[in-house]
């Protein structure tokens, strides 16, 4: 069974989709209403989405806990390697880049979401790419418990 179809990942997909809808007013699947899909159908659709979708947890140094197929190709990693990666390592280590990234994550945490984020990311091979038109949002359950933050990357350009 693919990792993205494990019960815990399927449940997390629903949290991401519900949180995205709550904060942005849009479906994570665009014209497809995520609410009408079964949890397994949603997990498959998010994994196969043309946009890159990633999420990290709530650790002090957050670790990625999800990446769809497009994101795995962008970062040139497999699932097992990606979900062990501290999310800060997805960006270059230059202090100004890390500072910008940290400020944006804090803003999303406080507001719930931010839209139209751009930034430079780096794949496992060292390939740099510029993400644009990205939405960051908090992944929360119906009681408001915070489970992580996610990014919906609509556009990217290799540098």
pLDDT score, position 66: 98
pLDDT tens figures, 80-103: 999 999 999 998 765 445 456 566
Q: Specify the number of domains making up the chain.
A: 1
Mean confidence (pLDDT) of the chain: 90
Instruction: Tell if the pTM clears 0.85, that is, is over it.
Output: yes
Q: What pLDDT score was predicted for residue 105?
A: 60
> Which residue segment(s) compose the domain that 14 sits in?
3-158
Q: Which segments in the chain show pLDDT lower than 50?
A: 95-96, 98
- Give the residue carrying structure tokens 């209403």: 33
- Specify the CATH number for the domain of residue 97: 3.30.450.20
């Amino acid at each position: 069974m693919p990792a993205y179809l494990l019960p815990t990942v399927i449940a997390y997909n629903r949290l991401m989709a519900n949180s995205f809808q709550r904060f942005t007013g849009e479906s994570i699947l665009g014209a497809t209403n995520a609410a009408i899909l079964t949890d397994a159908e949603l997990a498959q659709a998010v994994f196969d989405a043309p946009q890159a979708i990633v999420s990290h947890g709530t650790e002090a140094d957050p670790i990625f806990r999800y990446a769809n197929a497009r994101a795995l190709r962008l970062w040139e990693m497999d699932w097992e390697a990606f979900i062990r990666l501290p999310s800060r390592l997805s960006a270059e280590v230059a202090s100004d880049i890390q500072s910008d990234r940290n400020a944006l994550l804090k803003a999303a945490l406080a507001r719930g979401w931010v839209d139209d984020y751009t930034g430079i990311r780096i794949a496992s091979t060292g390939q740099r790419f510029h993400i644009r038109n990205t939405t960051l949002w908090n992944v929360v359950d119906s009681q408001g418990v915070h489970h992580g933050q996610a990014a919906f990357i609509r556009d990217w350009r290799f540098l």
